Copies of this chain bind each other. A is one copy, B any other.
Amino acid sequence: MSDEQELGITESKEYNTGEWYAEVVQKADLANYAPEGMSGFIVTRPRAYELWERIQGHLDGLFKDTGVQNAYFPMFIPESYLEQEKDIVEGFDPEVAWVERAGKEELEEPLAVRPTSESIITPYISQWVRSHRDLPLRVNQWVSVVRWEATETKPFFRTKEFLWQEGHTAHATRDDAWAETMRRLDQYEETYEDLLAMPVLRGAKPEHDKFPGADTTTTVEALMPDGKSVQGATSHYLGTSFAEAFDITYTDEDEDSQIAHTTSWGLSWRAIGALIMTHSDDQGLVLPPAIAPDQIVVVPIWQADTKEDVLEYAEGIADDLEDAGIRVELDDRDERNPGFKFNEWELKGVPVRMEIGPNEADDGTATLVHRPDGESAEVDREDIAETVESHFDEVYAKLYAAAEENLTENVREAESRAEILGTIGQHGGYVKAPWCGDEDCETEIKDQIAAEIVMVPLDDEEAEIHHGEECAICGDDAVETAYFAKSY
């Protein structure tokens, strides 16, 4: 353990959110910054990579249960491929890293390090699809992508290289492709809620903020404690634009040639950033039990004369927990006192701590302490694994409830420009307002307080609330409900 860790977290989540976040990431051993000359890149340490592995395991299971197969496409994309879909190039060109020299040769055509893979995957889908019997066709890859954005590095939120999954599918009809778009959005929502204990809002991006070439870009948005929204994952219904550009056609049951409808959808390690930001506190990392690398730490507390008994008792419990499939760490280090251990495991985000002293060993009990709020309970040795599991459920419920309360309290309505600006300025969070659909109206807000329209609801009922009303900004007819927020 390094000396820095012993110092604990010094920044305040409430007052210096950015600095606090950077400190938690560093001191909880989640990530390091990359070497000089590589600003924007991070090294993902095992404790953070394990979070990613659990997100991956959860989501990959959902994908495979619903017909998705994984594949692997080259990390490079020829410049001419990117150009073939003009919309993509306009969207991504400034952000691409290029390989022009390799080995001893200058390449004839520059190769882009993939910023996203529609332009190389779609032509292969086109080769693989011949008949309606080949549809739906669904492939996904878990890879890293590079986007050369010149912004300040924020681990997991803003990095030039990031890990993600990108799914790409082709379907016979618009309905099938739209159902696919929604299926993946549902799975992202479920992953945020069940695994990460984070409620999210579902919606569509405004027309002018869609993925280039998409018919509709849908999103799950999570509210951070500092009042900013995070785009948690996106699922795009691409219509027929990519199928037309790359010629994905199929013969239908009447042997007629038809154009396919495609989708793409992705979730990145930004989910890790949102997870850390949402639950953690001024003592360090806080994690829901389902995703925590260590779910419970057992800390035996002894004097010289009780050591043997206490340790034996603690080891027995740790064995039982492990046998039940619980990820348990027994901290029997001699060179550290219990207080130091408590602080260290709080910093590292272990959701439940078990304290065992001579009294517990004598009485056949144990003391459980919940990481999020310090609530403690004395429990029986008997059925200890079941008891611990139920405390995991309680911890999850507390974390989810706190995040949900933050979300619920921070969706407000506004009916004028002044009200939008005032409400976001004062409270942060989301402000719902009737909107005419014109980008200029968003720009007025953006220019003044850097808030934007992060989504419009997908739910028809809510979307139509404001039909017939006036746009809060320009006074023209409103056609949608816009959610304004500052965002990451």
- Chain A interface residues toward B at CB < 8 A: 1-2, 32, 34-38, 41-46, 49-50, 52-53, 69-76, 78, 80-81, 94-105, 107-109, 111, 113, 120, 123-124, 127-128, 130, 133-134, 139, 143-144, 146, 148-150, 161, 163
| CB-based contact B76/A49 at 8 Å | no
CB within 8 A of A144: which of B69, B75, B134?
Answer: B75
Q: A43-B73, A100-B100, A113-B113 are in contact. List 17 more A-B contacts (CB 8 A).
A: A1-B133, A2-B130, A37-B111, A38-B76, A38-B78, A38-B111, A44-B71, A46-B69, A72-B163, A75-B146, A94-B103, A97-B103, A98-B99, A99-B113, A102-B148, A103-B148, A105-B150
Decide: A76 near B120, CB < 8 A? Known: A94-B104, A97-B99, A98-B102. Answer: no
| CB-based contact A103/B96 at 8 Å | yes
Which 6 residue pairs are nearest across A and B when measured between Cβ atoms?
Answer: A103-B148, A46-B69, A97-B102, A44-B72, A102-B148, A41-B74
Q: Please, could you name 18 A-B residue pairs with CB atoms under 8 Å apart, sorted by A?
A: A37-B78, A41-B74, A41-B76, A43-B71, A44-B73, A45-B71, A46-B139, A49-B70, A50-B70, A53-B70, A75-B146, A96-B102, A96-B103, A97-B99, A100-B101, A102-B146, A103-B148, A103-B149
Question: Which residue of chain B has its CB nearest to the CB of A47?
Answer: B69
Decide: A43 near B124, CB < 8 A? Known: A35-B81, A161-B76, A163-B72. Answer: yes
Question: Which residue of chain B has its CB nearest to the CB of A68?
Answer: B46
Decide: A35 near B120, CB < 8 A? Known: A96-B103, A97-B99. Answer: yes
| CB-based contact A98/B96 at 8 Å | no
Whole-angstrom distance between the alpha carbons of A69 and B43 in the complex? Answer: 14
Q: Name which of A36, A71, A74, A123 has the most chain B CB atoms within 10 A of its CB.
A: A74
| CB-based contact A71/B97 at 8 Å | no
| CB-based contact A42/B96 at 8 Å | no
Cβ of A148: which chain B residues have Cβ within 8 Å of it? Answer: 102-103, 105
| CB-based contact B38/A74 at 8 Å | yes
Whole-angstrom distance between the alpha carbons of A53 and B141 in the complex? Answer: 12
Cβ of A70: which chain B residues have Cβ within 8 Å of it? Answer: 46, 49-50, 53
Q: Name which of A43, A111, A120 has the most chain B CB atoms within 10 A of its CB.
A: A43
Cβ of A134: which chain B residues have Cβ within 8 Å of it? Answer: 1
Name the distance in Å between A401's Cβ and chain B's nearest Cβ: 32
| CB-based contact A123/B35 at 8 Å | yes
Whole-angstrom distance between the alpha carbons of A149 and B104 in the complex? Answer: 10
Cβ of A133: which chain B residues have Cβ within 8 Å of it? Answer: 1
Whole-angstrom distance between the alpha carbons of A52 and B72 in the complex? Answer: 10
Cβ of A43: which chain B residues have Cβ within 8 Å of it? Answer: 71-74, 124
Cβ of A80: which chain B residues have Cβ within 8 Å of it? Answer: 37
| CB-based contact B44/A78 at 8 Å | no
Question: Which residue of chain B has its CB nearest to the CB of A141?
Answer: B49
Question: Which residue of chain B has its CB nearest to the CB of A145?
Answer: B75
Decide: A49 near B72, CB < 8 A? Known: A95-B103, A108-B37. Answer: yes
Whole-angstrom distance between the alpha carbons of A14 and B413 in the complex? Answer: 75
Whole-angstrom distance between the alpha carbons of A425 and B43 in the complex? Answer: 50
| CB-based contact A69/B49 at 8 Å | yes
| CB-based contact A99/B99 at 8 Å | yes
Question: Which residue of chain B has its CB nearest to the CB of A36?
Answer: B78
Question: Which residue of chain B has its CB nearest to the CB of A97?
Answer: B102
Question: Which residue of chain B has its CB nearest to the CB of A123?
Answer: B35
Name the distance in Å between A336's Cβ and chain B's nearest Cβ: 11
| CB-based contact B75/A161 at 8 Å | yes
Whole-angstrom distance between the alpha carbons of A49 and B68 in the complex? Answer: 12
CB within 8 A of A34: which of B37, B74, B146?
Answer: B74
Cβ of A71: which chain B residues have Cβ within 8 Å of it? Answer: 43-46, 49
Question: Which residue of chain B has its CB nearest to the CB of A53?
Answer: B70
Whole-angstrom distance between the alpha carbons of A71 and B51 in the complex? Answer: 11
Cβ of A123: which chain B residues have Cβ within 8 Å of it? Answer: 35
Whole-angstrom distance between the alpha carbons of A46 and B73 in the complex? Answer: 10
Cβ of A78: which chain B residues have Cβ within 8 Å of it? Answer: 35-38
Cβ of A95: which chain B residues have Cβ within 8 Å of it? Answer: 103
Whole-angstrom distance between the alpha carbons of A34 and B74 in the complex? Answer: 8
| CB-based contact A98/B101 at 8 Å | yes
Name the distance in Å between A445's Cβ and chain B's nearest Cβ: 28
Whole-angstrom distance between the alpha carbons of A108 and B35 in the complex? Answer: 14
Question: Which residue of chain B has its CB nearest to the CB of A335?
Answer: B133
Q: Name which of A73, A103, A143 has the most chain B CB atoms within 10 A of its CB.
A: A103
| CB-based contact A74/B161 at 8 Å | yes
Cβ of A44: which chain B residues have Cβ within 8 Å of it? Answer: 71-73
Cβ of A104: which chain B residues have Cβ within 8 Å of it? Answer: 94
